[in-house]
Each structure stands twice: as C-alpha cells, then as structure tokens.
Amino acid sequence: MVGNSSPKKVGLAADRLASFYGRDIVSVDQFSRQDLGYIYGVADEMRSLVKRVGATDLLKGHVLANLFYEPSTRTSSSFIAAMVRLGGSVIPIHGVQYSSVSKGESLPDTIRTLQCYSDVIVLRHPEIGASAVAARYANIPVISAGDGTGEHPTQGLLDIYTIYSELGTVDGLHVAMVGDLKNGRTVHSLARLLKLYDTEMSFVAPDNLRLPQDIRDEMVAAGRTVHETDRLQDVIDRADVVYVTRVQRERFQDLSEYEAVKDYYVITPALMQEAKPRMALMHPLPRVGEIQYDVDDDPRAAYFRQMENGMYVRMALLAAVLGKV
C-alpha cells in the first residue's frame, strides 16, 4: 500500500515503490526499472481481477477527467474502461470543439477547471510538452496520453509490459522499430524505456523519417547497441521484437511527402516467414496498411494482446497515482 501522506509535487519519495502517489506521468524518463516492476506486478493483478470478476470498487467515488485534444480510440477508451472497472467515474471531453476550448480557453484555465471536479486528469494534446505544462498548473495528478510528436508514456509502459508477457524477458532482446520514427511518439517513449534494459536496437526508417538524433544519442550514451537502416530485410530474421508504426499523416505539411513514404514497409505473411519462430510483432495501432490483415492469425502477431494490456497497465497507473496500491 502506498503511503497516503505525500502530496503532489513533493518529489520522489525515498521508497520508490511509494513514489507513484500524487505523481504526474508526463515522460518515461521519470521511471526506473524498479518502478516498472512495481506497476507490472499491479497490472498482473488487475488482469486476473478483470478476468475473474470484471470490476472492483477500489476507486469508488473518484473521478477521472479524460481530456483529448487529438483523436483517440484505444488510449481514451482504455482509460475510461480502466477507471470504470476500478469503480470510479469519468468526465469524457473528447470533442474539445464542444468545450470552452473552442471559445479560446487556455490549457491552464481548462486544467484549473477540471481539477475542481476530478481527482486525476488524462491529457492528450498536439503540442510537445503540453502535459508538463498542465502538470505545473494542476494540483492533482496529470497523466499524459500523448503530446504531439513528443512522447506517449503510458503506451511505452504497456509496450514493455507486452514484451515481458510475450517473451518473458526484455534483457538480451533485439528490438527493431519500423516506420515513422521521427514523428511516432510511441517509439520515442519505447526507445527511452529500453535504455533501462540490456537490449540491442535497430531503427528501420526511410531517410526523412529517422529517429531524432537526440534520442539516438541517449541510447548510445546508455551503452545500447544501435543500428540504423532503411531496409527491413536487414533485421527481420534477427529481431525478437518487430515494432511497426504508422506513418503519421497528420504531422506532414506536404501530403505528397506523406504519399511517397506511407507504404514504405508492409508486413506480409511471406515476410513473417523470414522472422524468428519465437518473436513478437507489435504495433501501437491504428494500422493503415503497414501490417496486412492476413498476418493477424500468426501467433507472433501480438498487437491485439498489446492493446488489451493497455487497460491493465492503465488500471495499475490510476490506482497507483491515486494512492490505492
């Protein structure tokens, strides 16, 4: 049980396992391996609880404000499902055009408003750093659900959880990330979390969608072996995890540039024959052609299990920041 006396923004508690209570989640850089182990242990419990009885009243009387300035299916509905399965309630704001945001209200004022009615805020926003700004204004925890092309910390957490549940370990693996590594925020969070593990990483992207140099430098500084290529064939037979991403159409100024690269990589059953017999094919979803539908029956296709895992990890995070586990 996490202590219940540390208010938000006191900083890291001496006992890292008690350090979730009242905390914002805005970047994966705030987590240690010990933190991850703790959250994954709780997520395992949440999974068995949901399978056994469906729901609990752990967060009864608590309210989540789910504030989305960008489209979402999985992240937003899994946070809602997570809160409801924990016995709490949700204020869903998914069409900001119907809120005072469309009247020109600033993010800080919107946050100041929602904190009067809720105990935790989940925020998706198109600008890098928006959740950190929101966290500065809020006196309740703010959890980032993705900020522009920056990070998507809860996706990174559920991705590592999925690697554990698919392959039993993260250390010693070769992880290949494929697609739009420049704009894909899930890749940025996952790569940063993989720094915590003894992994080899391959970044597979066309030249104009390569991983940002600063993230690559972080990997190298952390002592990781990093390869870059634009050819999936170079790594498909060696990777334990192939993490495919969509080319992020909404981040392109010039749509002809998007059209030129959108079908650069397509996972087919024939390509999967070249992959290891034991590996995990992952994708944060939505897919828009990068993985053919006839790959779905391959036992190595982990993306639907991956999205289910998102709910258990988000249940664990909500319960942790609200001091209930």
Instruction: Point out which residues bind ligand ASP (CB under 6 A).
Output: 146, 152, 185-186, 245-246, 284
CB of 244 to ligand ASP, least distance (A): 10
**Between residues 156 and 323, which has the closer beta carbon with respect to ligand ASP?**
156
Which residue has its beta carbon closest to ligand ASP? Answer: 284
CB of 173 to ligand ASP, least distance (A): 22
Which lies closer to ligand ASP via its Cβ, residue 38 or residue 79?
79
Q: Please, what is the minimum distance in Å from the beta carbon of residue 302 to ligand ASP?
A: 15
Q: Give the span between the Cα atoms of 3 and 15, in whole angstroms.
A: 10
Q: For residues 169 and 114, what is the distance between their CA atoms, to the nearest angstrom?
A: 39
**Residue nearer to ligand ASP on the CB measure, 155 or 202:** 155
130-137 and 107-117 are packed helices; what angle lies between their axes, rounded to 10 degrees? 50
Closer residue to ligand ASP (CB): 110 or 186: 186
To ligand ASP, the closest distance from the beta carbon of 68 in angstroms equals 10
User: Measuring CA to CA, which residue among 145, 154, 131, 121 is closest to residue 70?
Assistant: 145
Q: Is 4 exposed, middle or buried (0-12, 13-18, 19+ CB in 10 A)?
A: exposed
DSSP SS3 for 297: coil
**Exposure of 242 by Cβ count < 10 A (0-12 exposed, 13-18 middle, 19+ buried)?**
buried
Residue 94 or residue 324: which is nearer to ligand ASP going by CB?
Answer: 94
Task: Name the minimum Å distance from CB 246 to ligand ASP.
Answer: 4
